[in-house]
Structure 1
């Protein structure tokens, strides 16, 4: 298999095997007018198996939410064929419209226009709570 080198874009690496399609759809990569490579079950010495997404375009999106979706992820920014930045996204302090509140009495269950906003309350255990009703978020990813 041959995947061309990226000149300007983003490589999302160390995705837990099998999760890349969820990330692909969450980032709406199907709407892009550029090359996107989705590699699944790639052999990895560190993880055993992993997924990789290569995007041949620099995107103006918040990549921080990927830290919530998968704590193993590393993101590399490529410019002129060279890696200019590599980082692990941290858990964001707040996430909006990524997960929904499951509390039937929460205002977000009644009012459809209200954003689903969750704040990080326990970094070690990766727990988020609804800012309206304080319900713990159910893990979506």
Structure 2
């Protein structure tokens, strides 16, 4: 299979195989008017298999969501067919409005205009704690 490069936009590379659809969903790429290519299960010398997402538009993407979904993702910004910037992501220290507190007694259940804010407590398990009620969220429990 051959997928052409993009002239201007963003390439999300080194996505763990099978997570490209999650990236597509949580970045709301279905709402874009530009071209988006999802390439799944590409051969990778380092990862074995990986996914790639190519977006032919320069947009402001939520790096916290990407870092939470898959901390190994690299974000490549493309201008005139050349990479002008590369960012390597990691788990963010704080997540705002990415996770939702499951505790029915949390203030965010009552005061719904409050932001859902979580701080990391365990990087090895990707665990975050609600700053309001201390409820722990594990793994990929996205909104």
Please report the TM-score for the alignment, with normalisation by the length of structure 1. 0.90
Please tell me whether residue 44 in structure 1 is matched to residue 44 in structure 2.
Answer: yes
> For this pair of structures, how many residues does the alignment match?
141
State which drifts further: 67-76 or 33-42: 67-76
1:1-141 equivalences in 2 (<5 Å): 1-140=1-140
Please report the TM-score for the alignment, with normalisation by the length of structure 2. 0.89
* Alpha-carbon distance in structure 2 between the residues aligned to 1:114 and 1:39: 37
Secondary structure of the structure 2 residue equivalent to 1:66: helix
* Alpha-carbon distance in structure 2 between the residues aligned to 1:113 and 1:13: 34
Q: CA RMSD in A?
A: 1.6
* Alpha-carbon distance in structure 2 between the residues aligned to 1:52 and 1:34: 17
State which drifts further: 14-23 or 57-66: 57-66
Extract unaligned runs of 5+ from structure 1: none
Contact in 1 for aligned 2:95/2:118 (Cα 8 Å): yes
Contact in 2 for aligned 1:9/1:56 (Cα 8 Å): yes
Extract unaligned runs of 5+ from structure 2: none
* Alpha-carbon distance in structure 2 between the residues aligned to 1:61 and 1:46: 26
